[in-house]
Structure 1
Amino acid sequence: MIASAPDALRQDLTGPAATLVDQCAALPVDETRHTDPVEATKAALAAIATRVKALTAEINQADRRLRPAVARTAPHLHALHGVGPDVAGQLLTTAGDNPDRLRSEAALAHLCSAAPIPASSGRTNRHRLNRGGDRAANNALHTIALTRMRHDPRTRAYVTKRTTQGLSKKETIRCLKRYIVREIHSPSHRPEPNWPD
């Protein structure tokens, strides 16, 4: 809306997104001139900015509630690199919805859509991701993989190694997801559940 706002209004609204939200929420709106394009745009921007601030407050409150619950329920998961409260909460939700499917590491990989499926033909030997399973859990694994690719030196070295071996970025991420599932399911990272009182 800012990009298509009248010039007089657009020139006053500059800066990073957080600043723009505050600026738009503070816009003075003249309710008696609602047919004027500038006033109508101000009213719309103020309403959207107010909603953004309210949703941001709700998200922050939910994160404050979720963080200690996840840390108490699965401290091993919360301690892994790239796993925040949202990602850990999603993985715990997936596991809680399907306790009968957590028999082994391979079963967890299938549940999270991270089990490699052979997709070879002729002389080409390759695998693809399983499209079944819980897509939200797969998205959580994808978030962990991207975070590690950006911030973890070991993961960056692994990506470089696999790229020099001829794997594409998609194939490398598939391998990372499978490794992350192994790390999540590993008995060394999986103490007895610490259920809340």
Structure 2
Amino acid sequence: MEELTRRVSRDVRTHRPRLLDIVGIGPDSAAALLIAAGDNPERLANEAAFAALCGVSPVEQPSGKTRRRRPNRGGNRQADAALYRIVVTRLRRDTRTRTYLERRTKQGMSKREIIRCLKRYVAREIYRQIQPMTAFIAATTVT
């Protein structure tokens, strides 16, 4: 098991060295997100498209007087699970994330809604790291 983790870490560092430096991202989560992005380079025109691919783009869910958003149910389940693991790790270890959780809880949001927002923020941060890869793949497949 340790050998597999070392290999995955090495491969992720080879292709996206700064991805593992982001708080909460381990080799398994990074690999799942890179696989999702690499499988669908034509769908990654912007970070909103990456969020939709991962299943964390917000979808309006109006019910009566309340307007809420829920996560998009489509998308890559492994990428969504990787984002969830990253958020849970950040909630345990990152002070900025805990502060955000406290602030949004005081505003009346449920923990589930807060995690949805955090997954979207993490997807945005990760897209910035993998964006050069998707541009490179798209450019090489066009020619």
Structure 1 match to 2:109: 167
| Structure 2 CA distance for partners of 1:160 and 1:96, relative to 1, 3 Å | same
Structure 1 ranges of 4+ moved more than 2 A: 189-193
Amino acid at match of 2:86: I
Task: Give the CA deviation at 1:75.
Answer: 1.4
Q: Which has the higher helix share?
A: 2
CA RMSD of aligned residues (A): 1.5
| Structure 2 CA distance for partners of 1:191 and 1:115, relative to 1, 3 Å | closer
2:35 aligned with 1:82, yes or no?
no
Structure 2 match to 1:133: 75
Q: Which has the higher strand share?
A: 2
Amino acid at match of 1:112: C
Structure 1 match to 2:120: 178
Higher RCO, 1 or 2 (CA under 8 Å, sep at least 6)? Answer: 2
Amino acid at match of 1:142: Y
Give the SS at the match of 2:63: coil
Once the two structures are superposed, residues 138-159 of structure 1 have per-residue CA deviations (whole angstroms, 9 ceiling, x without a partner) of 0000000000000000000000
Give the SS at the match of 2:66: coil
The answer for unaligned runs of 5 or more in structure 2 is 137-143
Structure 1 match to 2:49: 107
Provide the rounded CA distance (Å) in 1 between the counterparts of 2:131 and 2:47. 15
Q: In the comparison of the two structures, how many residue pairs are matched?
A: 134
> Quick one: which of 142, 146, 152 aligns to 2:94?
152
Once the two structures are superposed, residues 111-130 of structure 1 have per-residue CA deviations (whole angstroms, 9 ceiling, x without a partner) of 00000111122211211111
Contact 2:34–2:130 (Cα < 8 Å) also in 1: no
Once the two structures are superposed, residues 141-193 of structure 1 have per-residue CA deviations (whole angstroms, 9 ceiling, x without a partner) of 0000000000000000000011111111110000000001111123xx45744
2:2 aligned with 1:63, yes or no?
no
Provide the rounded CA distance (Å) in 2 between the counterparts of 1:69 and 1:112. 21
Provide the rounded CA distance (Å) in 2 between the counterparts of 1:97 and 1:171. 29
> Quick one: which of 73, 84, 97 aligns to 2:15?
73
Question: What's the TM-score, normalizing by structure 1?
Answer: 0.65
Task: Give the CA deviation at 1:83.
Answer: 0.4
Amino acid at match of 2:103: K
Q: Which of the two has higher C-alpha Rg? A: 1
Question: What's the TM-score, normalizing by structure 2?
Answer: 0.89
Task: Give the CA deviation at 1:76.
Answer: 2.3
Amino acid at match of 2:116: R
The answer for unaligned runs of 5 or more in structure 1 is 1-58
Q: What is the aligned-residue identity percentage?
A: 49
